[in-house]
Amino acid sequence: DAGVIQSPRHEVTEMGQEVTLRCKPISGHNSLFWYRQTMMRGLELLIYFNNNVPIDDSGMPEDRFSAKMPNASFSTLKIQPSEPRDSAVYFCASSSGGSTGELFFGEGSRLTVL
Amino acid sequence: RKEVEQDPGPFNVPEGATVAFNCTYSNSASQSFFWYRQDCRKEPKLLMSVYSSGNEDGRFTAQLNRASQYISLLIRDSKLSDSATYLCVVNLQGNLIFGKGTKLSVKP
């Protein structure tokens, strides 16, 4: 079975450019999460969706960040304009809900903003 | 105070050693608890859930003390393949909050 699929795996861009990260959750999972990981701050929740509806976006750093989930099989995280401090690994994860707490993570998108 | 705190390590131990990781959480309303494992440059994966009565999975034992808001993970007879970062995770109203992780390095 396919796991969570993220693209691109790596992106290097220049400050001011728009970045779009993509995620395909595991089929049948109804919750989708976007996390950012850095050495300094660890793994931080940016936003999560339940049944395609954003539930909590309090972790989104600022207006430059936006996330959408137009259907159950696709989500995007967009940064516009990007800044060097946005450099991090961005993980998408999905779960089937319930109390098991198991999140299935994608392999991550490593973003470098020069 | 951070919601989930862990000793960052690194813990450098020889093969066969027993090692324990600790974690504290700040919100007493936290509902469930987990340990995840993250290998270098890989994604986190669930290692085990943590139950109030304590639970064991092979060489791994997890314990929870709700009164002290404290979670632990014990690894016995450590293997080279146990080298990774161990993340303490707390479920607060459906939101999984991750600690920054404790790095373990097991040496031959």
- The radius of gyration of chain B's CA atoms, rounded to the nearest angstrom, is 13
- Give mean pLDDT in consecutive 10-residue pieces for chain A, a chain of 114 residues: 92 97 96 94 92 91 93 96 97 81 92 97
Interface of A with B in 81-110 (CB under 8 A): 91, 99-103, 105-108
| Best residue in A5, A10, A44, A105 for a mutation probing chain B (most B CBs within 10 Å) | A105
Q: How much is the pLDDT for B31? A: 84
Selecting from A35, A101, A105 the residue whose C-beta is nearest the C-beta of B49 gives A101
**Cβ within 8 Å, pair A101-B99:** no
CA–CA separation, B24 and B90 (whole Å)? 10
User: Which one, of A60, A57, A73, A75, lies nearest residue A20 by Cα?
Assistant: A75
| Mean pLDDT for the stretch of residues B4-8 | 91
Q: Which residues contact A27 (CB under 8 A, 6 or more apart)?
A: A2, A73
Residue range A63-84, pLDDT digits in tens: 999 999 999 999 999 999 999 9
Q: How much is the pLDDT for A83? A: 96
